[in-house]
Amino acid sequence: MHVFVSSKIGLSVVIMRLVNALYFVGVATLLWFLLPRRLKSTLVWQWVITMVPLGLFLIPSVNPSSWAITGIGASWIALYGFFQSEGKKKLGLGVVYSLTTFLAAGARGDAAIFEILTAAVVCFLAFRPKRRFAWEAVLPIVLAAVALMFYLTSQQSGVITTGLPEDTAGGTVPLPAKPSALSILVNNLLNSPSLVIGVFGSWELGWLDTALPVVVWAFGSLVFAGVSFGALRSSDWRKIVSVAGVALVVWLLPVYILQRSLSIVGTQVQARYILPLIVLLGGLLLLQTGTRAWMLTGLQRTVVVGALSVSQAVSLHYNFKRYVSGVGSGGGLDLDNKAQWWWGIPVGPMAIWVIGAIAFAVMLAIIARELQQYDEVLPRRRKQEPLPNLT
């Protein structure tokens, strides 16, 4: 991002944000055209159910987590499609996988570890006892080695052995004045799932300074759980093992890091650190495998669109409020009232918020309608159980 730095700080930041947003849109668009037909819905739905609100906040930001989120979400499905494609599309997917992995692993040390995990999970899913697979697997092995090199040369590499530096932030659960290592471990095991809910808005945005109302994370987590649970009907044993493995990493990795530092959930590890893994987990849950297909019904799509539209509109308004007039400024719903920080342009923050909220809702409605034709109908079991002999 340093190439966009200039003496005009505001302009530099806006350009960086636009570049990161365009990078996400560009990668997603390339994958849409390159992936096999049956993976298109998985590609889009994984972003839909995981991006509100934290993903929408971080991807078009100047935070290196932007490349980590985009990279993990794009690289796993690009690699999976790579193993199942031929010709130019296979080459294109290999290029997208290499680019997104390289940028994600170089952006954050933890993302480098996530990319190694991603390569291992996808190779497990796509494994075939054939020579061709062995040759194809060279690509993820090489990229995993590059990611490992990035991690070992990053400042975050010491976290595994020494833990995180001391933090004075308070925890979410009261503990004794001098808790033992065992009590900290139990506390963290029981409260680590709060980081998952934090992705959907229970944790504050920014540097934990923009609190959101409960409706945001309630609707967001409901959509994620509902859609993912429904998609489990289309699973084989490899998908089940992969989902379980990634879920355990999401749960236990923060516990391990916090335990090394003797810290509790609510300090040190933030929800944004595990968001890339949540995107990966969501994508794996939505992956159609086995002999049964899954597809959202019309009512279910309506619920998803409505719930996420409300969640995004509310979180966008609260985030606007934080940066336009301040959290404690009052002013009610009208963002133009008491606005202190805004450009000298004819369009006010209230109009931009309305446009943003409506645009997101319309986008979701279009996605819900258009993706229906791409939902592959997998072979269904037609064998019926014989009727009981009532005589």
DSSP annotation string for 260-294: HHT--BTBS--HHHHHHHHHHHHHHHH---TT---
271 lies in the same domain as 366: no
Where in the sequence is the domain holding 227, given as residue range(s)?
A: 13-163+173-294
Same domain, 331 and 281: no
Tokens of 220: 């967001």
Q: What is the mean pLDDT of residues 24-42?
A: 95
Total Cβ atoms within 10 A of residue 27: 20
- Global pTM? 0.90
Asked if 73 and 206 sit in the same domain, the reply is yes
386, part of any domain: no
Given a cut of 80, whether residue 307 has pLDDT beyond it is: yes
**Exposure letters 232-264 (e unless 16+ CB within 10 A, then b):** eebbeebbeebbebbeebbeebbbebbbbbebb
Q: Is the pLDDT of residue 155 over 80?
A: no
- Where b means 16+ CB within 10 Å and e means fewer, 210-231 reads bebeeebbbbbbbbbebbbebb
Q: Is residue 381 part of a domain?
A: no
Same domain, 182 and 282: yes
Task: Tell which of 245, 266, 294 closes a domain.
Answer: 294
Q: Does 24 reside within a domain? A: yes
226 and 239 share one domain: yes
On whether both 200 and 336 belong to a single domain, the answer is no
Domain contains 135:
yes
User: Does 34 have pLDDT greater than 70?
Assistant: yes
Whether 312 and 221 map to the same domain: the answer is: no
Structural domain ending residue among the three candidates 257, 273, 294: 294
Please classify residue 185 by burial: count the beta carbons closer than 10 Å to its beta carbon, then call 0-12 exposed, 13-18 middle and 19+ buried: middle
| Among candidate residues 259, 279, 294, the one where a domain is terminated | 294
With a cut of 60, say whether residue 154 has pLDDT above it.
yes
Instruction: Give Cα 102 distance to the centre of its chain.
Output: 18
Report residue 177's pLDDT band, with 50, 70 and 90 as the boundaries: low
Q: Which region among 164-168, 189-193, 195-199, 367-371 has the lowest average model confidence (pLDDT)? A: 164-168
Closest CA to 55 of 195, 156, 201, 194: 201
- How much is the average pLDDT of 242-253? 97
Number of domains composing the chain: 2
321, 335 Cβ separation under 8 angstroms: yes
Residue at 168 is within a domain: no
In this structure, the answer to whether residues 19 and 128 fall within a common structural domain is yes
Average pLDDT for 288-313 = 90
Asked if residue 391 belongs to a domain, the reply is no
| Nearest-angstrom CA–CA distance, 328 and 295 | 44
- Would you say residue 133 lies in a domain? yes
Residue 84, pLDDT above cutoff 50: yes
In the chain, the amino acid numbered 274 is I
| CA-based nearest residue to 73, from 115, 108, 112 | 115
Q: Are residues 250 and 304 in the same domain?
A: no
The angle subtended at Cα 291 by Cα 287 and Cα 292, nearest 5°, is: 70
Contacting residues for 58 by C-beta, under 8 A, at least 6 apart: 65, 66, 69, 272, 275
* pLDDT score at 178: 66
pLDDT band at residue 387 using 50, 70 and 90 as cut-offs: very low
Q: Quick one: CA torsion of 22, 306, 246, 58, rounded to 10 degrees?
A: 30
259, 331: one domain:
no
The verdict on 133 and 234 lying in the same domain is yes
> Which of 102-116, 213-227, 318-332 is least confident?
318-332
Q: Identify whether 49 is part of a domain.
A: yes
In angstroms, the CA 104 to CA 304 distance is: 29
Q: What angle do CA 244, 185, 181 make, to 5 degrees?
A: 150
Looking at residue 210, what DSSP letter applies?
B
Instruction: Say if residue 361 is exposed, middle or buried (CB neighbours under 10 Å; 0-12, 13-18, 19+).
Output: middle
Q: 336 and 236, same structural domain?
A: no
Q: 383: buried, middle or exposed (CB in 10 Å: 19+, 13-18, 0-12)? A: exposed
